[in-house]
Chain A
Amino acid sequence: MKTDISKMRNIGISAHIDSGKTTLTERILFYCKRIHSIHEVRGKDGVGATMDSMELEKERGITIASAATSVNWKGYDINIIDTPGHVDFTIEVERALRVLDGAVLVLCSVAGVQSQSITVDRQMKRYNVPRIAFVNKCDRTGADPVKVKNQLIEKLGHNAVMIQLPIGLEDKHEGIIDLVTMKAVYFRGPDGEDIEITEIPENLLEDAKEKHEEMLDAVSMFSDELMEAMMEENVTEDLIHDAIRKGTLSQELTPVCLGSAYKNKGVQTLLDATTRYLPDPTEIKNIALDLDNNEKEVLLESTEDKPNVALAFKLEDGQYGQLTYIRVYQGIIKKGSELYNTRSRRKFKVGRLIKMHSDHMEDITEANHGDIAALFGVDCASGDTFVQNGLNYSMTSMFVPAPVISLSIEPKDKKSADNMAKALNRFSKEDPTFRTFVDPESNQTIIQGMGELHLEVYVERMKREYAAEVEIGKPQVAYREAISTMAEFNYTHKKQSGGSGQYGRVAGFIEPLHEGDYEFVNKIKGGSIPTEYIPACDKGFKSSLAKGTLIGFPIVGVKVTINDGQSHSVDSSDMAFQIAAAGAFKDAYKRAKPIILEPIMKVAIEGPTEFQGNIFGSINQRRGIIISSADEGTFSSVDAEVPLSEMFGFSTTLRSLTQGKAEFSMEFLKYGKVPKGISEELIADYEEKQKKNAGK
């Protein structure tokens, strides 16, 4: 059967934790007739929502992995990519965003736009994802969808326009008014599957008319036809839909839908809006990088007769081996055909090709351009690009931030040790921000990531999915060393007693570099160091940066200039100059007033205004700087910059300070100088450790 691409949608449901995303997804699956009963997220019946495939997520009521699920709604094929809402899993969110064509931004009608919604929305903006908003939980006490719409405008800068109005709020929430058709929509039956469309109730008609006009004014900006029709007073529903669609695709308009997924209200109308207003795969520009042509950008064409280009965006360990989720951008991938992985430069054969419905799967014979599918048993890492017919493309390389925190882990027994190795191998393939290595000094296994919670989740997964029990060490911040002033060097490396000698002299200076980690400048005139040895000098300096002498962390921001030196016709060699450069650096580094840098996090906290003082205090106690606070009546938020080393255990502290009513998000901002007192402590600790190691 041929797929009609114009009826394909790849959407993400993105939201803040607890705004009801998983429940909404569950309802969508239900109404699309793919699952037969509705389960609650926190599992009253112990089954749990279908999208949450991982145990841990079930327990915490949050969704971590971005599984893709295919559903069909009124003849439209919708692939739902479930995106995690927590900032600590940013890379997962970002990779999911890469493959989406549109998104539904779920917001809680009571809490509104929260700190993490802001982060997620910013990421969507970066990937140019058109969005529609769904104001959920209209049945809750304090529900106020208009307030939420205004927050979309004020806090996120959206041109948000309500295309629906609620019929009743809180416990009186019965249905919605469709402002396009100007009809009332009720959701009857035990699971809200029977839709009843009636006239708008008398008492709401006046307001609905007013909001209808407002909506028309806002959306007519995107369609001349609609504007003309408005003047001639022959506006049709299709003209309005078309205008909303244009505005949404250009990301200049965010239509706002509403309802309550939990109470089975407004989900079907949201699905209609999704298929109507969000783009099909051919309407999105996708760019690949041509690796044979200096990474030149190539525009991909969503057509079937072009060679395949696909991106592996997610790996999962299933019962039957590794499952690789792919997004096909170009061509049709057929079962049994051959693909080429441009990163590993290996060819492989497409074995089983499937479509996923949460934990159930369906075998398919081909995956169309624009579609999302999964492959079995392909050895690859996530982020890899698969191509065909001699193409050598890579999908736009994604920005992978360097890890800011590390943790030592130790298996409790032999069995755990084997399982731990398997788990670590898997995790580092799945998530580029998760890294692991064995520290040669302590012989401990170290895991690195983007935050405390990020690593905690992996430790939990090791235990649950791989039965690997591990002891964890104290979290360790990824410090850096840097120089704060210029220092000259003039260093001679000489070993001329017996055997073949070594000789090299390098002179010049090192100075702080504000942009970039390292720069090497050669200002040798008259060949005092022969040109052939210059790369060896560069290498010698560069290798010295790997480990600073203050606390053993990498050195960043150094510019090295060499302007003099000396060589020996017989005894000079690459090795001699490398050693000389390293010696020169070590010598100059001490005099360049080295300092320690630490990761500074951008922290956003919000909570009831009554706890404002406690929140201010919690930042102050953590060497934090309050950048701003915003008071919105009963709710307040605070933006601050706090060293990562002070943020350990912050969630617990915040919970106890605010009776669990405040929450926070954080992300890496920059490296900042460590204050003197703390710097001295770190140096003393390092020296102590060095002594111990020497004594061993």
Chain B
Amino acid sequence: MVRSELNKRGPLRVFENSIHGGLGKGHIGVLASKKGVGKTACLVHIATDKLFRDRHVIHVSFSQKVDHIINWYEDIFKEIAKKRNLENAVDIHDEIIKNRVIMNFNSQGTTINQVVRSLKAMMTDGNFKADSIIVDGYNISDISQDDFNKLKTFIKKENIELWFSVSLVGENPVFNKMGIPEDLENRIDDLDVLITLKYEGNHVSLQVIKDHDVLEPKDMTLKLDPKTMLIVRNQ
């Protein structure tokens, strides 16, 4: 399969169609689940899909080692290339990783303002024209309303779409009747898109809880393939 064809069809198009064509620039989306369900894999797949379409992505992580994140990208790329039988995979890989930067923060208690400061430095001084930012593993309920507003202004001004992953507390997180996790109830108005990941039988399925103006739980007909950790259609 050639790259353009891969971009035209596939589970990520289903993903976007179920949230009105995608998160969209200037908007904030959240992927939420309890720990160890596959949020990082989902985010990396979303980011890799952007890279395949020549978008620029900054991946913000709070891991001990950057290598760990790079390995996620390598694995997801390999799985996609294998599954879709991608032509010229080596060349495409080398080309698209130029459009990806990983920014790792491993000091404890990094504030969102510090993260934004570094992002600004990367985008202005580093001249990196980011289209999407992925923030994996930051507790957004720690962000004050004031700081969250600043963050919203920043991504609107820079015309960026921003995905957060949020780890829900506990083994059995509580969801309200609208499907909103309790941990995120106070933040829901600030978010444009909220997607939850849940075990259903032996697989993890994706559900839209908030789709821009629509607040109504909806199955995305997508799941995580437990072997490859890719987002795939749930047939």
By a beta-carbon cutoff of 8 Å, the part of chain A in contact with chain B is 154-155, 514, 612-614, 616-617, 619-620, 625-633, 639
Contact = CB atoms under 8 A, between A and B. Distances in A.
Interface in B89-129: 90, 97-98, 101-107, 110, 114, 118, 121-122, 124-128
Contact of B107 (A614, A625, A632, A639): A632
Contacts of A620: 125-128
Interface of B: 64-66, 69-70, 90, 97-98, 101-107, 110, 114, 118, 121-122, 124-128
A613 B124 contact: yes
B90 A626 contact: no
A612 B102 contact: no
Contacts of B70: 627-628
Residue among B64, B97, B125 having the largest count of chain A Cβ atoms under 10 Å: B125
Given A154-B65, A514-B90, A639-B66, A631 B110 contact: yes
Where chain A touches its partner, the secondary structure class is mixed
A619 B90 CA distance: 25
Residue among A154, A630, A633 having the largest count of chain B Cβ atoms under 10 Å: A630
A630 B104 contact: yes
A551 B64 CA distance: 45
B66 A628 contact: yes
A273 B65 CA distance: 30
A627 B125 CA distance: 15
A628 B124 CA distance: 16
Contacts of B110: 631
B104 A631 contact: yes
A628 B102 contact: yes
Contact of A626 (B101, B106, B107): B101
Given A154-B64, A614-B125, A617-B126, A631 B101 contact: no
A617 B104 contact: no
Given A154-B65, A514-B90, A620-B127, A629 B122 contact: yes
A384 to B, nearest CB: 38
A619 B124 CA distance: 12
29 contacts: A154-B65, A155-B65, A514-B90, A612-B118, A613-B121, A613-B125, A613-B126, A614-B125, A616-B121, A616-B126, A617-B125, A617-B126, A617-B127, A619-B126, A620-B125, A620-B128, A625-B98, A626-B126, A628-B70, A628-B102, A628-B104, A629-B103, A629-B122, A630-B106, A631-B105, A631-B107, A631-B118, A632-B106, A633-B107
A631 B97 CA distance: 21
A155 B124 CA distance: 29
Contacts of B107: 631-633
Q: Which 5 A-B pairs have the closest CB atoms?
A: A616-B126, A633-B107, A613-B121, A613-B125, A617-B125
B135 to A, nearest CB: 13
Contact of A616 (B66, B69, B122): B122
Contacts of A629: 101-104, 118, 122
B73 to A, nearest CB: 11
Contacts of B124: 613
B98 to A, nearest CB: 5
Nearest to A153: B64
Contacts of B102: 627-629
